[in-house]
Amino acid sequence: MWWCVGVGLWALFPSQGMAQPVLEHQEVTEHHAPWDPGKRVVIRHSYGAVRLRAVEEGTTVSVRAHHQLAGMTRQAIQAYLHAFRINVQAFDDRVEVVTIRPPGEHKLLNQTTVDLDVVVPAEVLVDLSTRFGDLDVQGVGELKATAPFGAISVRNVAGNVTLEGKHGKVQIHDVRGDVRVTHSLGDVEVTRVEGSLVARNQFAQIRAHGIRGRAVVENRSGPITLVNLSGGAEVTCQHAQVAVSRVTGDLQVTNRDESVAVADVQGTVVVVNANGPVKARDINGDLKVDSRFGTVEVSQVRGKLTVEHSNGELSVRNVKGPAVLTNSHGLVQVDGVEGDCRIRNEFGAVTVRMVLGRLDVLNAWGLVQADLPPGGVRPAGSAKPAALAAPKNGETEATPEDAPAWYLETNHNNVILGVPSGTGCTLSVEANSGLIDAQFPLMKQRVGSKEAAHGDVQGGGMKVDVKVDLGMAQIQKRPAGSTGRQRK
């Protein structure tokens, strides 16, 4: 059964589990107010979606309200409609759109939704809040909005965007100003922002792409994915994965649990992760990693590399500048460092190949295996190497000028030094309570439990010192032109 009253439409439907059928009513009302340049638009709404559009050269704020009500009696619906108000008014500095719901519980009504279609001038600043309902905004001059229960979609904004949400997905695209988002229980997606980005979430993911200004992103238990950032970024997460790539500017990432992946950064990078793997590649600047549990993989760094790690494998490949590496309870693998390299490890092996600068390795309870690069070390200059200047075992003085180009030390394990054919060095080896096994002729001497050996290998050259406590020092031949691959 249908009734039509003015622009309203009535319908009667049977209700399940109820003796009385449900009556539905829909109607549309329109409201207008004049707008002058410089005025902002303020919208306050409660139950229902808001669809906001902007038109060029507009002089009016127009509201089209879609009323959707359902209840047990026609009288209850009519009483609610009679008391419901939509005020669209012009003031000196603003135009207000306010919906006012009748007080009370309205127990005879099942639905009291009002969706708003609002049209404003294109250059206007909009201040909007709604309690329950989706928000869809396009083309305004600037937006400040609060929508705690509903999806939010914002597109083509000429100025800044500030959003506060709670439940529902947030999508923001094509903003020529700054963006600031605070959310908690829904995904946040931001693309193509000319200004800066500040995004905070708690229990869902954050994705951002194409941010020209600096990005500051925080999340608690949702993954973060950032791509194509032109102003650097600061990223903080606690219990989820973080992936950042294609960044121009400095980048800082702090995570507590889960993985961190960083790639293609033109600037300085700092990564702090308490419990999870770290991967960093293609860093055109300095890289510093502080990690506790999990693997660390680093490749293609064109600045200085500093890693403080523990309880996991550390792998380093193709570093242009110096490298300072510290680990414990995990393997350290180095494959290609053009500058100086300093390595400290405990309870894990150290393997080194293609270090072209000075090398200083100190290990405890772990194997040290390193091959000289073909042609020997090529120090960057005559100054003390920055990578080796840090003290070892509590030392306070910097590395002296006559320090060896390579220094390898371990205890309770072995040192294996590989020397390619045609590469010379001046070698000094010391083994306390251990043995020396050399495939080259060396002058040996044993006094008590201490054995020492020295000599010029293949014509002499760079100075190499090897020290072993409670283990074996092995000096092995490598084929001509060897790149330093370790023998199994």
The predicted-structure confidence for 91-100, as pLDDT tens digits, reads as follows 999 999 999 9
Q: Which residue has the higher pLDDT, 10 or 29?
A: 29
CA distances from 259 to 94, 239, 244, 247, 340 (A): 48, 9, 11, 18, 29
3-state secondary structure the chain: CEEEECCEEEEEECCCCCCCCEEEEEEEEEEEEECCCCCEEEEEEEECCEEEEEECCCCEEEEEEEEEEEECCHHHHHHHHHHCEEEEEECCCEEEEEEECCCCCCCCEEEEEEEEEEEEECCCEEEEEEEECCEEEECCCEEEEEEEECCEEEEEECCCEEEEEEECCEEEEEECCCEEEECCECCEEEEEECCCEEEECCCCCEEEEEECCCEEEECCCCCEEEEEECCCEEEECCECCEEEEEEECCEEEEEEECCEEEEEEECCEEEEEEECCEEEEEECCCEEEEEEECCEEEEEECCCEEEECCCCCEEEEEECCCEEEECCCCCEEEEEECCCEEEEEECCCEEEEEECCCEEEEEECCCEEEECCCCCCCCCCCCCCHHHCCCCCCCCCCCCCCCCCEEEEEECCCEEEEEECCCCEEEEEEEECCEEEECCCCEEEEECCEEEEEEEECCCCEEEEEEEECCEEEEEEECCCCCCCCCC
Band the pLDDT of 81: cuts 50, 70, 90. Answer: confident
Q: What is the mean pLDDT of residues 243-256?
A: 97
Average pLDDT, the chain: 90
Q: What is the mean pLDDT of residues 267-271?
A: 98
Per residue in 399-419, pLDDT (tens digit) is 556 779 999 999 999 999 999
Residue 392 has pLDDT above 60, yes or no: no
Residue 121 has pLDDT above 90, yes or no: yes
Residue 142 has pLDDT above 80, yes or no: yes
Band the pLDDT of 119: cuts 50, 70, 90. Answer: very high
Residue 385 has pLDDT above 80, yes or no: no
Instruction: Give the model's pLDDT for residue 86.
Output: 94
The three-point CA angle 105-110-111 to 5° equals 95
Band the pLDDT of 103: cuts 50, 70, 90. Answer: confident
Band the pLDDT of 359: cuts 50, 70, 90. Answer: very high
List the domain boundaries for the chain.
Answer: 1-38+52-115, 322-488
Residue 6 has pLDDT above 60, yes or no: no
Q: What percentage of the chain exceeds 90 in pLDDT?
A: 78
The three-point CA angle 179-182-187 to 5° equals 95
- One-letter amino acid at 312 equals G
Q: What is the mean pLDDT of residues 342-371?
A: 97
Identify the weakest region by mean pLDDT among 1-15, 232-246, 327-341.
1-15
Rounded CA separation 465/404 (Å): 6
Residue 255 has pLDDT above 60, yes or no: yes
List Cβ neighbours of 463 (8 Å cut-off, separation of 6 or more).
404, 405, 406, 425, 426, 428
Identify the weakest region by mean pLDDT among 274-288, 366-380, 435-449.
366-380
Instruction: Give the model's pLDDT for residue 399.
Output: 52
Rounded CA separation 485/47 (Å): 69
Question: Do the Cβ atoms of 373 and 484 come closer than 8 Å?
Answer: yes
Residue 112 has pLDDT above 80, yes or no: yes
Instruction: Give the model's pLDDT for residue 15.
Output: 54
Chain centroid to Cα 12, Å, comes to 54
Q: What is the mean pLDDT of residues 208-222?
A: 97
Instruction: Give the model's pLDDT for residue 378.
Output: 65
Residue 104 has pLDDT above 90, yes or no: no
Q: Which residue has the higher pLDDT, 235 or 382?
A: 235
Question: Do the Cβ atoms of 309 and 331 come closer than 8 Å?
Answer: no
**Overall pTM surpassing 0.85 (yes/no):** yes
Residue 482 has pLDDT above 70, yes or no: no
Plot region of 148 (φ>0 → left; ψ -120 to 50 → alpha; else → beta): alpha
Question: Do the Cβ atoms of 33 and 89 come closer than 8 Å?
Answer: yes
Taken in order 203, 207, 213, 215, is the CA torsion positive or negative? positive
